[in-house]
Amino acid sequence: MAACARDSRVATVMNYLAHLLLADGSPESLVGGLLGDFAKGLDLAGLPAPMMQALMAHRRIDAFTDAHEFVRRSRARISPKYSRFAGILVDVFYDHFLAVSWTSWSRENLGEFSQRVYAALQIHEALLPARLAAVLPRMKAEDWLGGYAKIDNIGHALAGLQRRLRRPMELTSALSELRAGYTDLAQDFARFFPELRRFTLNLESAQPL
């Protein structure tokens, strides 16, 4: 998923979990599902076809998400103080809702899925952009993907965002936006995500054999 009103200079874990779940499950597709956030400067011509297809699907998913009424509704729930980062915050919050409702979306438990993702990234580490390769050891050791289910870990993700901002902005306090609007934001996600799944399935059916 994407975030309008993003600071383009921010690079951190945002909505990795959603893109990974929406990939087709192969190691190449899992890696490609993440590369959409790291593609700048990447030699796309050197990517395996399944990885490239997943990267392109990532971009279409971002565009679908940005235009969706429930996502826009969630962004509008964010206080004006954080309006510049509303898209980023909703991305992070939606991955939290995905994690806590994981069994509704996948037969594979989140812990096993996360380990499979880390293994896929390690297998294809030579193809990863430097920024992604650099954070991979910490991502695995701290289980960033599984950690989305815990609100405290969302606070850590926001702290990571804050450290990467060139313009000082207090983002860790934005966790209060999740707590205060939890029910409404969760309902937005619950109405949005099935539509995103259908959109993704249509993308997969349109892929060349």
**Domain ranges, ordered by start, for the chain:** 16-206
pLDDT value, residue 208: 54
Q: Cα–Cα–Cα angle for 43, 202, 31, nearest 5°?
A: 30
Mean pLDDT of 120-139: 91
The rounded mean pLDDT for the chain is 87
Quote the tokens at residue 16: 């990795």
pLDDT greater than 90 at residue 39: no
Residue predicted with more confidence, 37 or 87: 87
Determine the angle formed by the axes of helices 49-67 and 182-206, rounding to 10 degrees: 140
Calculate what percentage of the chain has a pLDDT beyond 90: 65
- What is the distance between the alpha carbons of residues 52 and 72, in angstroms, rounded to a whole number? 28
pLDDT value, residue 45: 79
pLDDT value, residue 156: 85
pLDDT greater than 60 at residue 5: no
Residue with tokens 């609007």: 181
- What is the distance between the alpha carbons of residues 181 and 93, in angstroms, rounded to a whole number? 10
- What is the distance between the alpha carbons of residues 149 and 100, in angstroms, rounded to a whole number? 5
In this predicted structure, which of 5-19, 128-142, 172-186 has the lowest mean pLDDT?
Answer: 5-19
Residue with tokens 């995103």: 196
pLDDT value, residue 198: 95
Q: Give the global pTM.
A: 0.88
Span 96-119, pLDDT tens digits = 999 999 999 999 999 999 999 999
